[in-house]
């Protein structure tokens, strides 16, 4: 005898009105920066024929994923910061969980592909054009989306098969696997380890592959350092910053049993809000070609 939960209550980041107003101001500015910055990158890459190399094709896809990723959580969070009762329907919660892991895992795979692109450009420059052809890039990006979809389906199926019949308060500002499954009316020990081995292992493996690729790049640059390698190394440095902001919080959140420690919702802000904000800043401020193309685009718009 139990009734299924029909809605969840999101406790948010704080219940203090002053802090909620502060968070609303910060997050709406961050969300606007994500939208404008990444849309500007997409338009710039799509309109400038000079930015037709694989690295910019992948950057364009990363910007699109960042828009999707932050749009899964930020609009709902902004509305809740202005609301007294922060309720979300059970179906809406599951949908948010699904799309968050869909675009999140796709971004992990894409960042790994971008690291492989930089490794190929620096360590195998003579074969770069043949290895990273446009067809190969499309196949790799499609594989990233397919891998993200498969990962999200597994996470969602493991969640919806659990019985939810009692507490319905989620100690977070969005629906994610760790806080949601802790509300299940059953022992979730096995489910926790299955999910940790899914999300956590994916995060860790991708991060290890990324670090390994950077080690090979540093060794190659140390052996033969040219101006072209200096430019590529600068791109890798910005990539490392993005990777650190995105992967380290994900590994901390997902690579452990979820009931062992409370999920730190403030850490979640790093990879759902601030990491997408940093991408356009890092890739534009540290890339002269993108900045030059943006200035040309601005001049054309004035005309």
Confidence of residue 139 (pLDDT cuts 50, 70, 90): very high
Lowest mean pLDDT among 114-123, 134-143, 172-181, 224-233: 224-233
How large is the average pLDDT for residues 77-82? 90
Confidence of residue 148 (pLDDT cuts 50, 70, 90): very high
Q: What is the dihedral of CA 46, 209, 122, 140, to 10 degrees?
A: -40
In this predicted structure, the answer to whether residue 128 has a pLDDT above a threshold of 50 is yes
In this predicted structure, the answer to whether residue 2 has a pLDDT above a threshold of 70 is no
In this predicted structure, the answer to whether residue 223 has a pLDDT above a threshold of 50 is yes
In this predicted structure, the answer to whether residue 84 has a pLDDT above a threshold of 90 is no
Confidence of residue 68 (pLDDT cuts 50, 70, 90): very high
How large is the average pLDDT for residues 187-215? 85
Of 267, 227, 228, 224, nearest in space to 246 by CA: 267
Distance (Å, whole) CA 161 – CA 146 = 23
Model pLDDT for residues 276-303, shown as the tens digit of each residue = 888 777 777 666 677 777 777 777 776 5
Distance (Å, whole) CA 91 – CA 240 = 37
User: Is 98 or 47 the better-scoring residue by pLDDT?
Assistant: 98
Model pLDDT for residues 149-198, shown as the tens digit of each residue = 999 999 999 899 888 887 888 888 899 888 888 888 888 888 888 887 88
Q: First vs last Cα of the chain: how many Å apart?
A: 70
Give the DSSP H/E element, type plus range, for residue 7. Answer: strand 7-10
Confidence of residue 141 (pLDDT cuts 50, 70, 90): very high
> Within 10 Å of residue 212's Cβ, how many Cβ atoms?
12
Which residue, chain included where needed, has tokens 């040219």? 226
Q: Topology of 7-301 in CATH?
A: Rhopdopsin 7-helix transmembrane proteins (1.20.1070)
Confidence of residue 1 (pLDDT cuts 50, 70, 90): very low
Give, as one character, the DSSP assignment of residue 127: G
The beta-carbon contacts of 257-264 under 8 Å, at least 24 apart in sequence, are 257/189, 257/192, 257/193, 257/196, 258/177, 258/178, 258/179, 258/181, 258/182, 258/188, 258/192, 258/195, 258/196, 259/182, 259/188, 259/189, 259/192, 262/171, 263/171, 263/172, 263/176, 263/178, 263/179
106: left (phi over 0), alpha (psi -120 to 50) or beta: alpha
pLDDT for 138 equals 94
Percentage of residues in the chain having pLDDT higher than 70: 87
How large is the average pLDDT for residues 218-226? 68
pLDDT for 234 equals 63
How large is the average pLDDT for residues 40-49? 85
Confidence of residue 272 (pLDDT cuts 50, 70, 90): confident
pLDDT for 3 equals 57
Contact yes or no for 240/282 (Cβ under 8 A): no
Mean pLDDT of the chain: 84
Structure tokens at 63: 């910007």
In this predicted structure, the answer to whether residue 131 has a pLDDT above a threshold of 50 is yes
Distance (Å, whole) CA 3 – CA 209 = 45
pLDDT for 231 equals 60
How large is the average pLDDT for residues 104-130? 88
pLDDT for 149 equals 96
Contact yes or no for 108/247 (Cβ under 8 A): yes
Q: What is the arrangement of strands in the sheet containing 7-10, beginning at the earlier edge strand? A: 87-89, 7-10, 169-170
């Amino acid at each position: 005898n139990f009734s299924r939960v029909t809605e969840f209550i999101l406790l948010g980041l704080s219940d203090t009105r002053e802090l909620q107003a502060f968070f609303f101001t910060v997050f709406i500015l961050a969300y606007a920066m994500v939208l404008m910055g990444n849309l500007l990158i997409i338009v710039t890459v799509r309109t400038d024929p000079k930015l037709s190399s694989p690295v910019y094709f992948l950057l364009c896809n990363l910007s699109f994923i960042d828009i999707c990723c932050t749009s899964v959580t930020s609009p709902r969070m902004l509305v809740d910061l202005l609301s007294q009762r922060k309720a979300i329907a059970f179906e809406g919660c599951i949908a948010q969980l699904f799309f968050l892991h869909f675009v999140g895992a796709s971004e992990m795979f894409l960042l790994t592909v971008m690291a492989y692109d930089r490794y190929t450009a620096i360590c195998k420059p003579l074969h770069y054009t043949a290895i990273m052809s446009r067809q190969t890039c499309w196949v790799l990006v499609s594989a990233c989306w397919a891998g993200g979809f498969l990962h999200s389906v597994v996470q969602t199926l493991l969640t919806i098969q659990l019985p939810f019949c009692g507490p319905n308060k989620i100690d977070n500002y969005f629906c994610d696997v760790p806080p949601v499954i802790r509300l299940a009316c059953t022992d979730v020990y096995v489910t926790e380890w299955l999910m940790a081995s899914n999300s956590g292992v994916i995060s860790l493996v991708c991060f290890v592959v990324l670090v390994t690729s950077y080690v090979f790049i540093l060794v190659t640059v140390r052996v033969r350092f040219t101006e072209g390698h200096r430019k590529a190394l600068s791109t890798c440095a910005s990539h490392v910053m993005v990777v650190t902001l995105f992967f380290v919080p994900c590994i901390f959140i997902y690579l452990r049993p979820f009931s062992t420690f409370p999920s730190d919702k403030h850490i979640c802000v790093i990879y759902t809000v601030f990491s997408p904000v940093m991408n356009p800043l890092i890739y534009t401020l540290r890339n002269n070609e993108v900045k030059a193309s943006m200035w040309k685009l601005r001049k054309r718009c004035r005309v």
